[in-house]
């Protein structure tokens, strides 16, 4: 029987949720040449360090964004970690902050949860901070678990250069969290489906093997038909050459023009013959 937890009940973090959050947050380090972690800009343009720890303005509390705030970000980083932030410390802080977000989930959710549902919501809250007031929470507390699961993918945009942009990384993360919320393995959201090797043609097209049938007998464009068509092409080509040979030198340009017209006429004739055989074979 699956253990259930209710809002307000603490539970230890599982290896699965820690692995998932680590995977998506990744270890932010602006200078990998040293053991100390340094701030860097995330894809949304926010200064972060460690596993998604954002750096904020100490006065306003607003997130520090953009290259122009590098000095402010470094100053805030040094204020919070005078001796520098190490990988081990970043992992410890990740666990502490994720547990804080789990307690936030416990305080907001009013219905019983499976342990894996709670952890999926904890990852969501760690990344977005937007569980309170969300459609996801409203549906969940109303008993609509399916509706809550489907609402994860509403949170896939970030503000980049003043515009809300769908971020592929957020799409994948929401899919992983939804998969965990439904009781599945979050890692399946990372898998790419194999490319099919049997590609179906569009409905309006017929496979080439049926469009042109080269057979020894009747019922299609037969070998005899191919032979006749080829002979007609050779005869037409010979006739054009003979015609050109009869032209005087001063009329070569005009002769080539007439020959071109004749060649087009022959090509049209051959195409119509081929098309008639193709339709008969269809």
Could you give the number of structural domains in the chain? 2
Express as a percent the part of the chain with pLDDT over 70. Answer: 64
> 51 near 94, Cβ under 8 Å?
yes
Q: Is residue 195 part of a domain?
A: no
Concatenated DSSP letters for 168-209?
Answer: HHHHHHHHHHHHHHTTS-GGGGGPPPPPPSSPPPPTTS--HH
- The segment with the largest mean pLDDT, out of 56-60, 150-154, 198-202, is 150-154
Amino acid 252: pLDDT? 46
pLDDT surpassing 60 at residue 237:
no
> Which has the higher per-residue pLDDT, 22 or 1?
22
Residues 277 and 164 in one domain: no
Q: Is residue 81 part of a domain?
A: yes
Record the pTM: 0.61
Residues 16 and 101 in one domain: yes
Q: Is residue 203 part of a domain?
A: no
> Which has the higher per-residue pLDDT, 226 or 51?
51
Q: Is residue 254 part of a domain?
A: yes
The DSSP output letter for 122 is H
Residues 165 and 225 in one domain: no
- Residue 265 sits in which domain range? 208-281
Residues 110 and 46 in one domain: yes
Please name the residues in contact with 267: beta carbons below 8 A apart, sequence gap of 6 or more.
none
Query: What Å distances lie between residue 25 and 48, 124, 160, 232, CA to CA?
Result: 10, 11, 18, 71
Residues 8 and 81 in one domain: yes
Q: Is residue 273 part of a domain?
A: yes
Average pLDDT, the chain: 77
Q: Is residue 149 part of a domain?
A: yes
pLDDT surpassing 80 at residue 136:
yes
Q: How confident is the model at residue 123 (pLDDT cuts 50, 70, 90)?
A: very high
Amino acid 274: pLDDT? 59
Q: Is residue 196 part of a domain?
A: no
Q: Pick the last residue of a domain from 133, 161, 190.
A: 190
Residues 13 and 39 in one domain: yes
pLDDT surpassing 80 at residue 111:
yes
Residues 59 and 174 in one domain: yes
d(CA 164, CA 77): 27
Q: How confident is the model at residue 47 (pLDDT cuts 50, 70, 90)?
A: very high
Amino acid 109: pLDDT? 98
Amino acid 3: pLDDT? 42
- For residue 53, report the phi and psi dihedrals to the nearest 5 degrees: -80, 115
CATH number of 106's domain: 1.10.530.40
Amino acid 205: pLDDT? 44
Q: Is residue 201 part of a domain?
A: no
Question: Pairing between strand 53-54 and 47-49?
Answer: antiparallel
Residues 169 and 80 in one domain: yes
């Amino acid at each position: 029987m699956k253990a259930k937890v209710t809002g307000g009940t603490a539970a230890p973090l599982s290896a699965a949720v820690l692995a998932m959050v680590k995977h998506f947050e990744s270890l932010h380090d602006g200078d990998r040449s040293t053991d100390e972690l340094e701030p860097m800009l995330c894809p949304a343009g926010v200064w972060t360090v460690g596993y998604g720890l954002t750096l904020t303005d100490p006065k306003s509390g607003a997130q520090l964004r953009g290259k122009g705030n590098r000095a402010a970000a470094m100053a805030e980083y040094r204020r919070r970690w005078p001796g520098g932030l190490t990988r081990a410390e970043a992992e410890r802080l990740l666990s502490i902050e994720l547990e804080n977000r789990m307690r936030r989930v416990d305080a907001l959710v009013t219905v019983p949860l499976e342990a894996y549902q709670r952890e999926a919501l904890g990852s969501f809250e760690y990344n977005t901070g937007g569980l309170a007031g969300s459609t996801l929470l409203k549906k969940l507390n109303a008993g609509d678990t399916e509706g809550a699961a489907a609402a994860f993918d509403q949170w896939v945009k970030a503000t980049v250069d003043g515009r809300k942009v769908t971020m592929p990384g957020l799409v994948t993360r929401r899919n992983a969290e939804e998969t965990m919320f439904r009781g599945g393995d979050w890692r399946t959201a990372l898998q790419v489906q194999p490319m099919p090797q049997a590609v179906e043609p569009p409905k309006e097209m017929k496979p080439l093997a049926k469009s042109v049938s080269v057979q020894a007998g009747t019922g299609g464009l037969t070998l005899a038909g191919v032979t006749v068509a080829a002979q007609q092409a050779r005869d037409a080509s010979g006739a054009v050459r003979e015609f050109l040979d009869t032209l005087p030198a001063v009329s070569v340009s005009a002769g080539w023009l007439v020959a071109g017209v004749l060649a087009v006429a022959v090509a049209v004739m051959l195409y119509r013959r081929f098309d008639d055989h193709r339709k008969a074979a269809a």
